[in-house]
Amino acid sequence: MLFSSTPKATREELFDREEELSELEKLLNIYPIVVVTGLRRVGKSSLIRVYLNEHENYFMSIDVRKLYEMSFGNISSLHLTRLVGEELNKISKIEKLSSFLRKIRGISIHGSSVEIDAKQFELSDMFEKLEAFAAKNNKNFIVFFDEAQYLKFYGARGGEEIRMLLAYSYDNLPHVRFIFTGSEVGMLHDFLKFEDPDSPLYGRAMGFLTVKPFSFELSLEFLRKGFEELEEKIDFDLSEVVKQLDGIVGYLVLFGLKYMTMKNKDKALQEVFSTMSVLFEKELSEITKRSPRYMTVLKSIAIGINTWTGLKNVLHARGDFVSDSRLFSVLETLQKLSLVEKFQDRYRITDQVLERILRE
């Protein structure tokens, strides 16, 4: 069903994205590491899940945001091992794989369930065994880290251990491939550090794919198809909805779901904005805790005060005599979080729905 709030998993549920699916396949054939970015709720997780489910590969998926939340901001190897264990449990049902898993230090298998002794278990050892398994079967083993920018909270060195492991795998394990997604594009780049000469991943070529919002036409078609699927007759102009929500499919889905219970376009739209307002508040809580400047700057940009001087004046008028370097770093962080983008010396909010919420 198109209007469902969880990420899609099968081709039939996925609207459009043919080009992205074939691009992803192409990139994975060339590069051991593929980085998929795009705004929040644009459909990254869905795209990749469908790809993984529909292709002749082995895979495991790690939701790094979940990992971050369950570890209260400091991810240890224990936390990661626990999620890896859950994933291995899912794939241990593949008969041939369980005999390989047995060879990994720290892993024991009872029936079809996998147990990991975290003290003995090493990710690098697991990757080596998975490489042997994949090579033998002439397939790839794909490790998918969703919202991977949170890996910078792994260990005590900003995720350095993971970068080292990735570099090792990149150079030595050709059948183990990685997909990283990130809604916070700058933060993801900060974690991967492929442009930093001191980083283990420096100089490794990677594939990049950006998932874009749907065009106006496609968004309309998406809504039309979604309502058709539910046999819902629509008596209003769908383009009104797309104008307000733009082509971010997560919002269109939310509208569809709200409409189905409320049967009123304006009320459903209102519900989308109020639901998102709560979600954004949660998503922005981290930076608003750090400094009230972030919210002031975001709100100012949303109402059109979008130049450097303009923003500085706003803060000064509030008695906050921010230095140039501090304001620079506030704006840089907001850009790294993909909340703000810069276009010809003006800043703007990347997401139309967030922009409207900030204006209210």
Binding residues for ligand ADP, rule: CB under 6 A, are 2, 4-8, 14-17, 38, 40-46, 183, 249-250, 253
Q: Closest distance between ligand ADP and the C-beta of residue 248, in Å?
A: 8
- Cβ pair 28, 17 in contact under 8 A: no
CA distance 89 to 96: 14
Instruction: Give the nearest residue (CB) to ligand ADP.
Output: 43
Q: Closest distance between ligand ADP and the C-beta of residue 39, in Å?
A: 7
From the list 173, 351, 36, 97, the residue with the least C-alpha distance to 165 is 173
Among 38-46, 85-93, 276-284, 305-313, which window interacts with Mg ion (CB under 5 A)?
A: 38-46
User: Based on CB atoms, which residue is closest to ligand ADP, 17 or 293?
Assistant: 17
Q: Which does 129 bind (CB under 5 to 8 A by kind): Mg ion, ligand ADP, none?
A: none
From the list 217, 131, 200, the residue with the least C-alpha distance to 165 is 200
Q: Closest distance between Mg ion and the C-beta of residue 342, in Å?
A: 25
Q: Closest distance between ligand ADP and the C-beta of residue 72, in Å?
A: 22
- Cβ pair 342, 186 in contact under 8 A: no
CA distance 70 to 61: 16
User: Based on CB atoms, which residue is closest to ligand ADP, 200 or 250?
Assistant: 250
Q: Which does 43 bind (CB under 5 to 8 A by kind): ligand ADP, Mg ion, none?
A: ligand ADP
- CA-CA-CA-CA torsion sign (64, 70, 71, 74): positive
CA distance 221 to 234: 13
CA distance 26 to 255: 34
Q: Closest distance between ligand ADP and the C-beta of residue 41, in Å?
A: 4
User: Based on CB atoms, which residue is closest to Mg ion, 183 or 300?
Assistant: 183
User: Based on CB atoms, which residue is closest to Mg ion, 45 or 92?
Assistant: 45
Which amino acid makes up residue 95? E
Q: Closest distance between ligand ADP and the C-beta of residue 31, in Å?
A: 21
Q: Which does 15 bind (CB under 5 to 8 A by kind): ligand ADP, Mg ion, none?
A: ligand ADP
Q: Which does 245 bind (CB under 5 to 8 A by kind): Mg ion, ligand ADP, none?
A: none
From the list 75, 67, 253, 249, the residue with the least C-alpha distance to 144 is 67
DSSP track, 143-209: EEEETGGGGGGBTTTTTHHHHHHHHHHHHH-TTEEEEEEESSHHHHHHHH-TT-TTSTTTT---EEE
User: Based on CB atoms, which residue is closest to Mg ion, 170 or 178?
Assistant: 178
**Which one among 37, 45, 219, 333 touches Mg ion, defined by CB under 5 A?**
45
Quote the DSSP letter at residue 6.
S
Q: Closest distance between Mg ion and the C-beta of residue 205, in Å?
A: 25
Q: Which does 258 bind (CB under 5 to 8 A by kind): ligand ADP, Mg ion, none?
A: none
Q: Which does 57 bind (CB under 5 to 8 A by kind): Mg ion, ligand ADP, none?
A: none
Distance in angstroms between the alpha carbons of the first and the last residue of the chain: 33
Q: Which does 172 bind (CB under 5 to 8 A by kind): Mg ion, ligand ADP, none?
A: none
Q: Closest distance between Mg ion and the C-beta of residue 47, in Å?
A: 9
- b/e code 176-187 from CB counts within 10 Å (16+ = b): bbbbbbbbbbbb
Q: Which does 192 bind (CB under 5 to 8 A by kind): Mg ion, ligand ADP, none?
A: none
CA distance 160 to 191: 9
- The footprint of Mg ion (CB under 5 A) covers 45
